[in-house]
Amino acid sequence: MSRETIITPDREALIDELTSEIRSSQRATDVVDNVVCELLGINRTDARCLDVLEERGRLSAGELAAASHLTSGAITAVVDRLERLGYVRRVADPADRRRVLVEPTPAVYEATRELMDVLAEEGRPMVERYSNDQLRLMIEFTRAGRELQERHAEWLREKLRDGWSPAGRTHSART
């Protein structure tokens, strides 16, 4: 164990502050996401699917369902809603014309660009002030945090499948 990893009052305070800032950041992101959904006329599930499509491009409904942790029935309803709004379209897979893919439309790119570009423009100078090593550290930290969240979401889904209920439970660490 290096000297820096020994838990001291200063280190504990830094860990607490970092944890608080992460939680605050998640709440701020949640607020932004809610307002964007309201402006686009969609719900959070639809927004999650649009985000996946904007990041990855054209996907099959099954791939989109897996990436957004939805059932095939739920993804059909999402795609139907988004298609009615003009945010996605169904297209034939050029490699297999029997297969249908879902892709974001120029309209959704235009709308999200209008709503989110100011955030990217203001955030870019923040990021540019860091060295490449610092950026790699932030990428590593963010990736590890995302992976932790994904594992925790799966653990919570197991609780759902097991019929967990807060009634009569004490709040304790994982068992």
Domains defined for the chain, CATH in brackets = 8-105 (1.10.10.10)
Helix, strand, coil fractions of the chain, as percent rounded to 5: 70, 10, 20
Pick the closest to residue 104 from 48, 66, 58, 37 (CA basis). Answer: 58
Supply the pLDDT for residue 2: 55
Cα gap 91→147, rounded to integer Å: 32
Its sign, for the CA torsion 12, 18, 23, 24, is positive
Asked if 118 contacts 98 with a C-beta cutoff of 8 angstroms, the reply is no
Supply the pLDDT for residue 66: 96
Supply the pLDDT for residue 135: 97
Supply the pLDDT for residue 98: 86
Asked if 13 contacts 20 with a C-beta cutoff of 8 angstroms, the reply is no
How far lies 53's CA from each of 56, 145, 151, in Å? 5, 22, 22
pLDDT one-digit tens code per residue, 156-175: 999 999 999 998 565 555 55
Kindly compute the dihedral angle of the four CA atoms of residues 108, 114, 116, 119, in this order, to the nearest 10 degrees.
170
What is the residue-level pLDDT of the chain in tens, covering all 175 positions? 455 578 888 999 999 999 999 999 999 999 999 999 999 999 999 999 999 999 999 999 999 999 999 999 999 999 999 999 999 999 999 988 889 999 999 999 999 999 999 999 999 999 999 999 999 999 999 999 999 999 999 999 999 999 999 985 655 555 5
